[in-house]
Amino acid sequence: MKTFNITAPDQKIKDLLIDKIDNLTKPKGSLGMLESLALQVGLIQQTLTPELRNPHNVLFAADHGIIADGVTVSPKEVTWQQLSHFSHGGAGINFLCDQNGFKLVLVDAGVDYDIPAGSKIIDMKVRKSTRNFHYEAAMTIDELETCLERGSMIVDKVAETGCNVISFGEMGSGNTSPSSMWMHLFTDIPLDKCIGAGAGLDSEGINHKLKVLSESLSNYRGGDSVKEKMAWFGGYELAMAVGGMLRAAELGMIILVDGFIMTNCILAASKLHPEVLSYAVFGHQGDEAGHKLVIEHLGARPILHLSMRLGEGSGAVCAYPILMSAVNMINNMDSFQTVAVTKYF
């Protein structure tokens, strides 16, 4: 069983960071969120001169047994087809990673397909698809522990490249369903508020999805622990993302959080280790129903709201230039002490 030792950043440097930010040549607070982001990054890295190095987006893919009950309009084969597409370039996450200098890492966590060797996709497959949590646990506790460990292993490999800022994405037809279940179980927000259109359900489809997930909740036969709930209703790609997030925090990396699904992964991670949230920068608030509610529950403030709901890590990667601006601000702006400008606030 993988264990994590995560500590919140030491606050001793906080006053020095605030003083440096407040005395840059600008009215205090005038650069808004750039200032709060610079403070957070400085705290994470324990320095007055933070830096962002070699960003990576790790995309985990897996299939879901619950898809058999008609909770999505996306057929199962889309998972492996899109994963293959990512490996060849030309998808949404590809151009965004290229544009923003991210290395894209693709991981098969549990795709119901034999991915060909040499496809630039890392084989971490636990099983070909989870089981259908409408009737039984999606995964065993042992499988969950395997996912946490494998997600952590991927982050270790990324960290070896010098990366200190990482985002996570996912691909898996039907994976808004397990995400909605985690959201409900770990926030107590009513289930109907946690469910949305996913890949494009109409109102009838959303009602059907709510019915299936409500029945699934009634059929739950597990215990009250976080891991038992994660295993019963989770997905292999989601659990690996949780393991990756926990390891990234343990290593002191900045975690750029993507949309609805990855927000529920950081939510689950925080139920295991609350300190992980100190390392999380929320990149994007999407239009998936419930995303705003779970962000508010976490007390987070997303950088962007672009009405996106693609997943793949797209919102996190889009937000990266804003994070860069925050770091460039604290490092490159003059202070009132070093230039002949009267402090004007």
Residues with Cβ within 8 Å of residue 120, at least 6 apart in sequence:
87, 106
- Dist. CA 129–CA 113, nearest whole Å: 9
- Asked whether the beta carbons of 135 and 150 are under 8 A apart, the reply is no
- Dist. CA 132–CA 103, nearest whole Å: 33
- Asked whether the beta carbons of 146 and 243 are under 8 A apart, the reply is no
| 312 is a catalytic site residue | yes
- Asked whether the beta carbons of 262 and 316 are under 8 A apart, the reply is yes
Task: Out of 35, 143, 288, 312, pick the active-site residue.
Answer: 312
Please give the backbone phi and psi of residue 268, each rounded to the nearest 5 degrees, phi first.
-60, -40
- Which residues have a catalytic role annotated? 312
